[in-house]
Structure 1
């Protein structure tokens, strides 16, 4: 943005420069923003305005930029997302004009969203699922068939905001593409705004990654500790992973054993609770081991409210 100083320096001679300054002075005195400033600070006289032409010009220029804002990325002000605010004070009979940079509403909103996003970790989940805007009205109206499930999720969100964390989470089950992951991302986003931390983990990729890290216990411990301690933990698409005994018993089992009676864990799956128990009971290495499956399910079944998500497949739409 061109400053008043630059404009004056561009003038060829002293007389022209003075005439141009007088012209700008007249324009500023006629500017509605300067009129409001003088109404607020009656002591702001013409002499003080002339002494502070650059500050006042900067303020009016930035005000017009903000009034025609097309977004932070195109902000033409000297400091992106900020505008100049003026104030007056009288000290020893001398009127002084002060300026300060103020964050605009768009910058404040972006910073707020960044703080919310910083509370959420995603593992193998497309970040776009977490960064997009969410509208409760849109979620309710997008598919009336899943309205009951949406109501249960929103009720859970509201109770958590009012009463804080409880050990009970949610187990969302339903057909492919009915929006289970979307609903859990919505829950994470809403509760992050209330100050809670969260993580969402795509189970098939997570399990395969853990298998490759079996000999790197430091990395495994770091990941497991994060999932133990986060306020809200979501295992997405559980049942689609190819388990081995070590991941089941020493990774997943350790996380759930720590979280039960402490913090809520959430799940999305195409399988119901009984079917997922059968899934946990079988591994390619050990075959069928119902005891191990039941042991893991004891850390899930008693700590979730089951939510059936019905509706049509939204993928590819």
Structure 2
């Protein structure tokens, strides 16, 4: 039986194997990344080191670089999914180190950003909103510019404008979408937002009395870095929810100068009328005016117009 060493020698010396090896070697050495690496270490690397490290060099060129062979993170072809190879010289030998790729960094940034947004009863599709996805026309420019100005003035956590925006307009024109797009843009600046769908939140507050979590939930909302109250005025407002819940939240945020956003189908004057009458039909002008005073102090009214995008 022929010794294994002799068999390997015969295979390696075969013309076909030699041709394939030379073609592979040429492909490796012509790769821009390999050439750059060899140029950087020209004083440390000789032919013997290159020959010895040919396997590592081929492993390097066979993978994706800057995600050029990967349509998305899930379809990453690299040996370590989400990591791209980098050639290194280790104790006179060519090796490979791996660092997170562009797609993985984008994915991780999105996950980190989403963790900065706490949604309370907001639809999932709205929570994925982006400013680039906001359809812009003449009737929507004012609202977009107001949002853009707020974001431009926001430098980072603890460096936010004191006043938010009160977006109002008819049903289905994209107020909630724009609110969520702002939250996502703020998350990219490492700023946490709490988005609250007001009608459901008010129902939750009534239930919270029974399970003794009312104060905890009110405190969480009122102390948010940025609070976004969606669809205020759509709820059946009682004197208690208006004064003890909404009024408490708004008073705290006004005193602490914390930015607050709101959306509503009502203008300021229409909302004040809505807040004036309780579920029992009681007219309470002074209490409604007190809540509206806080809303005016916290927000700048901006009308959003356009077609109903839910049809």
Provide TM-score, normalisation by structure 2. Answer: 0.84
Alpha-carbon distance, 1:305 to partner: 0.9
* Matching residue of 1:221: 215
Q: Secondary structure at the match of 1:175?
A: coil
Structure 2 distance, partners of 1:231, 1:66, is 36
Structure 1 position 168 matched with structure 2 position 168: no
Q: Counterparts of 1:260 and 1:28 in 2: how far apart (Å)?
A: 70
SS of aligned partner of 2:140? helix
Residue 88 of structure 1 is matched in structure 2 by: 89
SS of the equivalent of 1:195 reads coil
Distance in structure 2 (CA, Å) of the matches to 1:30 and 1:50:
14
The equivalent of 1:244 in structure 2 is 238
Counting only pairs closer than 5 Å after superposition, residues 111-126 of structure 1 correspond to structure 2 as 111-126=108-123
- CA distances 1:202-244 after superposition (whole Å, capped 9, x unpaired): 11111122222221223x3332222122211111111001123
Q: CA deviation at 1:26?
A: 5.1
Partner of residue 192, structure 2: 197
Provide the residue aligned with 2:35 in structure 1.
35
CA contact (8 A) 2:64 2:70 kept: no
> Residue 168 of structure 2: SS of its match in structure 1?
strand
Structure-2 change in CA distance of 1:55 and 1:222 (3 Å):
farther
Change (3 A) 1:287 1:229: same
Alignment-derived partner of residue 96 in structure 2: 99
Structure 1 unaligned blocks of 5 or more: 1-12
Q: How many residues align?
A: 296
Bigger mean CA offset, 290-299 vs 192-201: 290-299
Paired residue secondary structure (1:234): strand
Counterparts of 1:229-268 in structure 2 under 5 Å?
229-262=223-256, 263-268=258-263
Residue pair 1:117, 1:131 contacting (<8 A) in 2 also: no
**Equivalent-residue separation in structure 2 for 1:126 and 1:200 (angstroms):** 11
Distance of 1:235 and 1:260 partners within structure 2:
15
Deviations 1:230-271 (A, max 9, x none): 211111111001123332222222211111132011111111
CA distance in 2, matches of 1:258, 1:25: 74
Structure 1 residues 14 and 66, CA, compared in 2 at 3 Å: closer, same or farther? farther
Q: In 2, are the aligned partners of 1:29 and 1:35 still within 8 Å (CA)? A: no
5+ long unaligned stretches in structure 2: 1-6
1:274–1:45: structure 2 CA closer, same or farther, 3 Å change rule?
Answer: same
Matching residue within 290, 295, 298 for 2:290: 295
